[in-house]
């Protein structure tokens, strides 16, 4: 089967968008993160960005997001720590290469949280379709109250991130 040229398909994205919802995009690769965020913004979503799991967890605790778009392989605090911190039924779209994580194991372990898993690279239209479906699912991510040990770990990871910038 010939490979589809996603560029020609993606040229027909609706520039007016029409989608609503608050999305958090979490990826430690700045180019990937900003590209996904720009694609979602172009479709009408309000988008916040986080470069690691610690920042994502704090943003989720502080704000209201309809969907979290999450890479698993992150620096400081990885995506599985974010998934563990979320209340069940939070709509999370995993966007990962799945080079270090087994997709089936992630789906099994976090079945109540993971809305969908997308393998990188993701075509813009597919990203929009899945995030739109997750946003209309009506579940809002909430961070579970965390134990002091976990709060300390996340806090130290955040401090380490600040010290490296």
Q: What does the pLDDT look like over 12-69, one tens digit per residue?
A: 345 555 778 899 999 999 999 999 999 999 999 999 999 999 889 888 887 788 999 9
Sequence ranges of the domains in the chain: 15-163
CATH number of 15-163: 3.40.50.2300
d(CA 109, CA 112): 9
Q: Both tokens of residue 34?
A: 């900003």
Q: What does the pLDDT look like over 113-147, one tens digit per residue?
A: 899 999 999 999 999 999 999 998 866 655 555 55
**For residue 80, what are the CA distances in angstroms to 10, 52, 69, 95, 123?**
30, 11, 13, 12, 24
> In whole angstroms, what separates CA 153 from the centre of its chain?
21
């Amino acid at each position: 089967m010939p490979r589809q040229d996603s560029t020609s398909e993606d040229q027909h994205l609706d520039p007016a968008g029409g989608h609503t919802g608050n999305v958090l995009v979490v990826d430690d690769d700045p180019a990937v993160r900003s590209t996904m965020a720009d694609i979602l913004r172009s479709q009408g979503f309000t988008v916040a960005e986080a470069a690691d799991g610690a920042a994502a967890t704090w943003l989720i605790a502080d704000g209201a997001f309809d969907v979290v778009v999450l890479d698993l392989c992150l620096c400081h605090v990885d995506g599985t720590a974010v998934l563990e911190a979320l209340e069940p039924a939070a709509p999370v779209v995993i966007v990962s290469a799945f080079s270090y994580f087994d997709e089936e194991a992630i789906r099994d372990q976090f079945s109540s949280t993971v809305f969908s898993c997308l393998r990188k690279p993701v075509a813009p239209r597919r990203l929009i379709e899945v995030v739109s479906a997750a946003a209309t699912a009506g579940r809002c991510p909430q961070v579970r109250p965390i134990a002091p040990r976990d709060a300390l770990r996340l806090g130290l990871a955040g401090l380490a991130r600040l010290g490296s910038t």
